[in-house]
Chains A and B, each alone.
Chain A
Amino acid sequence: MAEPHPEDERLMAYVDGELPAGEAEAVRRALETDAALAARVALFERTRDALRTSSGASIPPVTDSLLERVRAAGSAAARENVVTFARPAKAGSSRGWMPSAIAACLALVVGGALGFGLAERGPSQPVLGGPVSDPQWRSALDQLPSGESRDVEGGRLTAVSSFRDADGRLCREFGHRISTGRGSLAVLCRNDKDWRITFQMDVAAASDEDYRAASSHEALDAFLAATKAGAPLSKAEEGEALRAAR
């Protein structure tokens, strides 16, 4: 039963009413004579029914405090009388609600305007868009597990998370502390043999903890959302991905 059946998706779509009429009729006829197919259909029906009646389906009450918080947010938005930066959806646009923080952020990524002034940047610090050549950085990218930190020449690196971007490339979020209160956050993605920076911003961070417990990194969040970055990899997945990439 753990074996996938080649017709699984079609049978499931039949159960969920997602097949066009002609195909649904064909499945229905096949079920009359094929017991194995019928058993498979039953599996999809029973799981669906089980979920409908599970406690996960019961509607939890909304607490008064949540209701109040939402009403307050609504009133605040109405008072501001302005839609924060968002552009109206064009007809047929599939990304109608993209907040403009993303648009601003993408402009920064492309223009490379963020980051330290060149005069302050040491020779070993990677430049936006370029491949990471410094061996200490590369070693950290290739090996340092997320959640850990390591001293390098020119500062301290903290691995924050690993994830896959929309194209399936392995990407890592790193913090780089230059000195107390000064650092940057970067997203670096792996391309064949290189790591390249796809996002970078200055942060005022007093300790390694601050990179992980980011209180407001809206520009980073907006970038990750706009580029459809995947959820962070688990420790096991990250270890595997890093080993495979080396």
Chain B
Amino acid sequence: MKSRFESELIALLPQLRRFALSLCRSGDVADDLVQITAERAFAARETFDPASRLGPWLFRILCNAWLDQLRRRRTAGVQLEAEELEQALAVDGAAAAEASLTLRSVDEAMKTLSEDHRSILHLVCIEELSYAEAAEVLGVPKGTVMSRLARARIALAERLGMK
């Protein structure tokens, strides 16, 4: 006999998996992340306020689970090649914009963004969370969400060659 909490959680699995994929970009790791999220959600379900939205609550658990995964990587440098790539592209922005480095595809562009930028863009522009909800999910102030989001969108615009 399934509880309502469980039914709603299962209904949100596709969105959870989509968010997980945006973070880790590997189907298997994403599935593991979603499973860990579900386990922790079931363990903590009494602390969920049923008047609030289940989606953002689960996203927050997923974010923390992802941070835990990152901490267990063998070396510190493994997971952040994207950040280094983003910095490398930023060094010569003018040349990059007009030369063949302009990335036409949004997906290609997203891959070169840092994880902070990717996750904030996903939460607000794809999951359509409000700034306040995104702040709750990430555990940062709303002001941080706004400044990070603005920088992320500008970085994305640059990659896409928008003027």
- Assign chain A's interface to a size class: 35 or more
CA distance A86 to B46 in the complex (A): 7
Tell whether A134 is near chain B: CB-to-CB under 8 Å: no
**Chain A: CB-nearest residue to B77:** A235
* Cross-chain contact A18 with B131 (CB below 8 angstroms): yes
* In the complex with contacts A12-B153, A57-B126, A147-B77, A73-B42 CB distance below 8 A: yes
CA distance A73 to B41 in the complex (A): 10
Q: What is the predominant secondary structure among interface residues of chain B facing chain A?
A: helix
A23-31, A58-66, A115-123, A189-197: which lies at the B interface? A58-66
- Residues of chain B lying within 8 A (CB to CB) of residue A200: none
* Cross-chain contact A77 with B154 (CB below 8 angstroms): no
Q: Which of B1-36 contact A (CB under 8 A)?
A: 1-3, 6, 9-10, 13-15, 17-18, 21-22, 31, 34-35
Tell whether B74 is near chain A: CB-to-CB under 8 Å: yes
Q: In the complex, which of the residues A74, A87, A89, A232 contacts B71, with contact meaning CB atoms closer than 8 Å? A: A232
Question: When each residue 143-163 of chain B gets 1 if its CB lies under 8 Å from chain A and 0 otherwise, what string results?
Answer: 000110111011011101011
Tell whether B43 is near chain A: CB-to-CB under 8 Å: yes
* Cross-chain contact A234 with B154 (CB below 8 angstroms): no
Q: In the complex, which of the residues B79, B90, B131 contacts A13, with contact meaning CB atoms closer than 8 Å? A: B131
* Cross-chain contact A83 with B45 (CB below 8 angstroms): yes
- Assign chain B's interface to a size class: 35 or more
Tell whether A153 is near chain B: CB-to-CB under 8 Å: no
CA distance A86 to B160 in the complex (A): 46
* Cross-chain contact B34 with A12 (CB below 8 angstroms): no
* Cross-chain contact B43 with A234 (CB below 8 angstroms): no
A66-B31, A224-B67 are known contacts; what are 10 more A-B pairs with Cβ within 8 Å? A16-B131, A43-B157, A47-B162, A56-B106, A60-B17, A74-B2, A97-B47, A212-B74, A221-B68, A232-B76
| Sample (8) of A-B pairs whose CB atoms are under 8 Å apart | A47-B153, A48-B153, A56-B106, A66-B13, A71-B6, A97-B44, A146-B75, A146-B77
Residues of B within 8 A of A (CB): 1-3, 6, 9-10, 13-15, 17-18, 21-22, 31, 34-35, 38-40, 42-49, 57, 61, 64, 67-68, 70-77, 79-80, 83-84, 90, 93, 97, 106-107, 110, 115, 121-122, 124-126, 130-131, 139, 146-147, 149-151, 153-154, 156-158, 160, 162-163
